[in-house]
Amino acid sequence: MMITTITKRFISPSHLKRFVFFFVCDFVIIIFSLYLSFFIRFEFAVPIEYKLMFLNAVFVFIVTKLTIFVFFRFYKITWRYVGIYDMLNIVRALIVSESVIMVLILIPLPVFSSSYIPSFLSFDLHISGFPRSVFLLDVLISFILFCGLRISKRLYLEVVQKISTAKIGKRTLIIGAGNTGEMILRDIGRHTQHNY
């Protein structure tokens, strides 16, 4: 009895579990997207100096993007009901985060010759010779992967599961072709527990 209660608690969805799931997935996507951008930019043969550049830049990409994603309420998106507004929010968050990263990496900060500031606190993230095309590739790949992840559950529920349960239930006629009729049709299609 105790084991089933713990199992149910572990399996049942919650805000914290959804946040952790998307946060970890986004962490992996950011690394993969940046590496794939370098891979495509150098036609699948990344020179060693650019691999080192990738290693230097990946921390900046992870911290900046995840911070801005939290600010843009990226992790408040309801997985089942993701829509066009959420996709636009992803676009906005990606444009802002990529712009911040470009400023941090491409523009060197002025050097302060103060003996009071330790060298490890200089906060200069400039990477000389960083390829500009990587930023554009990273935005495109990130957009596809972030949107693909967030729309995956809705695709499964509304396309895959709908096809498998299409012939189950009572034949139903909805009278009225307005917004309300369309909303009812979408709701019936989305929730497989309705036997219509």
Asked if residue 27 is part of any domain, the answer here is yes
Domain count, the chain: 2
Residue 80's alpha-carbon distances to 1, 42, 90, 149, 157, in angstroms, are: 31, 38, 16, 12, 8
Q: Is residue 157 part of a domain?
A: yes
The answer to whether residue 3 is domain-embedded is no
Both 48 and 65 in one domain: the answer is: yes
Same domain, 136 and 51: yes
Q: How far apart (Å, rounded) are the C-alpha atoms in residues 22 and 77?
A: 10
pTM of the model: 0.74
Q: Which residue has the tokens 């691999």?
A: 51
Does residue 130 share a domain with residue 80?
A: yes
54 and 90 together in one domain: yes
**Shared-domain flag, residues 179 and 145:** no
Residues 6+ apart with CB under 8 A from 108: 124, 126, 128
> How many CB atoms are closer than 10 A to CB 39?
15
pLDDT of residue 135: 95
Give pLDDT, residue 26: 94
Rounded Cα distance between 187 and 196, Å, is 11
Residue 7 lies in a domain: no
Q: Is residue 115 a part of any domain in this protein?
A: no
Q: What is the pLDDT of residue 150?
A: 87
Whether residues 42 and 74 share a domain: the answer is yes
Instruction: Indicate if 96 and 151 belong to the same structural domain.
Output: yes
- Regarding whether 178 and 86 lie in a shared domain, the answer is no
> Do both 188 and 152 map to the same domain?
no
Task: Give DSSP secondary structure letters for the chain.
Answer: -HHHHHHHHHHS--HHHHHHHHHHHHHHHHHHHHHHHHHHHTTT---HHHHHHHHHHHHHHHHHHHHHHHHTTGGG--GGG--HHHHHHHHHHHHHHHHHHHHHHHSPPPPP--TTS-GGG------TT--THHHHHHHHHHHHHHHHHHHHHHHIIIIIHHHHTTTSS--------SHHHHHHHHHHHH-TTS--
Same domain? 149 vs 171 = no
Distance CA 183, CA 77 (A): 20
2 in a structural domain:
no
Q: Is 116 among the domain residues?
A: no
Kindly state whether residues 63 and 28 are assigned to the same domain: yes
Full residue range of the structural domain in which residue 34 is found: 12-110+121-164
Average pLDDT of adjacent 10-residue blocks, the chain of 196 residues: 60 77 94 95 90 92 94 81 86 95 85 48 71 94 93 76 63 79 76 65
Do 101 and 184 sit in the same domain of this protein?
Answer: no
| Residue 28 is assigned to a structural domain of this protein | yes
